[in-house]
Amino acid sequence: MREVAVIGVGQSVFGKFPNRSAASLGGEAVSTALKDSGIHPKDIQVAYAARSYDANCTAQAVLKEVGIGALEMVNVENACAGGATAFRGVWKEIADGHYDIGIAIGVESMTTSPIAGKLIPPEKDDLEGYLGMTMPAMFGMVARRQMAESGATVEDFARVSVKNHHHGSLNPQAMFRKEFTIEEVLNSRMICDPITQLMCCPTTDGAAAVILCSMDVARKYTTSPIKVIASTLMTGNYGYLQKDICKSSVGTKTAKMAYEMAGCEPKDINLVEMHDAFANEEVLRYEDLMLCEPGRGIELLRSGATSIGGKVPVNPSGGLLSLGHPLSASGVRTVCEVVLHLRGKAGARQTPNARVGLAHMLGGLVTGLEHGVTASIHILAR
C-alpha cells in the first residue's frame, strides 16, 4: 500500500445555525481545506462524505458549492463514526492506488434535522432503546459503575468538563468558548444521575473536510506532509460477550490494530482527540487507548497529564463537550485538529513538539451489540 498524506484541512465554526443548510456548512469546510492544501478543485478525484440525519446525496450537494462534480462520490453513515469512516474510505482509495487525490467530508445540521430539539430516537426494532437505554442513560449507568469500582467521584467527571471547556475557550471555532468551575458543572441541570447538563455534549451544526493524497503528490505541494500512519475501523461484538460495561472491547481492539499498523506504542502519542460525548466517557477512553493501565484513568486525569501542557493532552480542541458534536462531522474534525498540532499551527492550544497524534471516534447503539457499536482510530505523524 502507498503512503498517504494529509495536505489540507478545513472546518466551519460549530454552533446552532438554523438558517444554514448542511451543504453551505460543508462548502465552507471544503473551501477552507482547498485553500489550505493549494489543490485546485478540479484536481480532486474521489470524495467520501458522511451525514447521519436528513441525508441525501451529501457529497454531491456539498461539492457543487465549490464547483466540483463529475467524479466518484460515496456517501456513508456510521453514527458518530461516520466522518471517521469517510476519512478511512478516502485513505484506502489512495493507499490502494485507485486515486491520487481525494477529499473526506463530515457534515451535520442538527438544528434543521427531523430530530431538532429532541433526544436521538431509537430505531423501530431497538428494544433496549424503547426500554430507556438512551445514550444519557447508558453513560449515567456507566458513571455509577466507575464510581463504585475505580474510586471516581462526580467531581472527577466535572473536572473533565472543566478541562475541556478551558481548552475550548482557546479555540475560535468552538461552540462554547466559556470556562466553568467544578461547582458550576455540578450545579447545572441534572440529565441522568450523576450526569449533569455541562457533562453532556451539545447538539451542534458544523462541518469538516480533509484532503488526502499520495506521498508523491504531497511532496509537490509541501516539504512537510502529515503522514497517515494508521487507519482502522471495527464494529463491536455481541453485547453478551462484553464482560465490563466500563471497557470498550471494540475500542481496545481497534487501538491495538492502529498501534501495530503505525509501528508505535501508546507512549509515543503526543496528543489525542477523542469521543467525549459525556464527561465520564473520556476517562474510559484513556484506558481503551492504553494511555494508562486499566483502572488508572482517574489517576491520569487527576495528574494533569491530559490537560494542555501535560504529557498527553486529550481534546485540546475542547472536545465534543465544548467544541460541539455535529455527529458525522466530528470524525473528520478530530483529524483536522491533530493535523494543526503536528504542523505547529494550533495557536494558544498548541501541543509543544507534537510529532504523533491520534484521532479517535466511537459511536452507535444497536440492541444486542456492544455499546459503542463502531470504533475508528487514525494515527498521524510528521
321 neighbors 161 (Cβ within 8 angstroms):
yes
CA-CA distance, 330 to 320, in Å (whole number)? 8
Element (H, E) at 102: strand 101-109
CB count within 10 Å of CB 125 equals 9
How does 308-327 read in b/e, with b if 16+ C-beta sit within 10 Å? bebebbbbbbbbbbbbbbbb
Q: Is 80 an active-site residue?
A: yes
Which of 165, 275, 325, 341 does the annotation list as catalytic?
325
What is the sign of the dihedral through the CA atoms of 273, 255, 7 and 60? negative
Cα 99 from chain centroid (whole Å): 25
CA-CA distance, 78 to 82, in Å (whole number)? 4
How does 49-72 read in b/e, with b if 16+ C-beta sit within 10 Å? bbbbbbbeebbebbbebbebeeee
127 neighbors 72 (Cβ within 8 angstroms):
no
Local structure of residue 110 (DSSP, 8 states): G
Residue 141 buriedness (CB in 10 A; 0-12 / 13-18 / 19+):
middle
What DSSP string describes 36-80? HHT--GGG--EEEEE--SS-SSHHHHHHGGGT--SSEEEEE-BTB
Q: Is 360 an active-site residue?
A: no
Please identify every residue annotated as catalytic: 80, 325
